[in-house]
Amino acid sequence: MPEKLHVPFVLTPPLTRVEGRHGQTLRITATPNNMPADRESVFWLNVLEIPPTNKDGKNQLMVAFRNRVKLFWRPAALKNGATDAPAKLTWHADGENIILSNPTAYYISLTGVHLVQSGHS
**CATH number (domain holding residue 23):** 2.60.40.10
Q: Is the peptide bond before 13 cis (omega within 30 degrees of 0)?
A: yes
Model pTM score: 0.74
Longest distance between any two alpha carbons in the chain, whole Å: 65
Could you tell me if 17 and 25 are in contact, meaning their C-beta atoms sit under 8 angstroms apart? no
102 in a structural domain: no
Number of independent structural domains in the chain = 1
Secondary structure (3-state) at 76 = helix
Determine the structural domain holding residue 54 and report its residue range. Answer: 2-77
d(CA 110, CA 114): 11
Res 6: pLDDT: 77
25 in a structural domain: yes
Res 1: pLDDT: 64
Tens of pLDDT along the chain (121 residues)? 667 777 899 999 999 988 888 999 999 999 888 899 999 999 999 999 888 887 787 888 888 899 999 999 999 999 888 999 999 999 999 998 999 999 999 999 999 988 887 887 7
89 in a structural domain: no
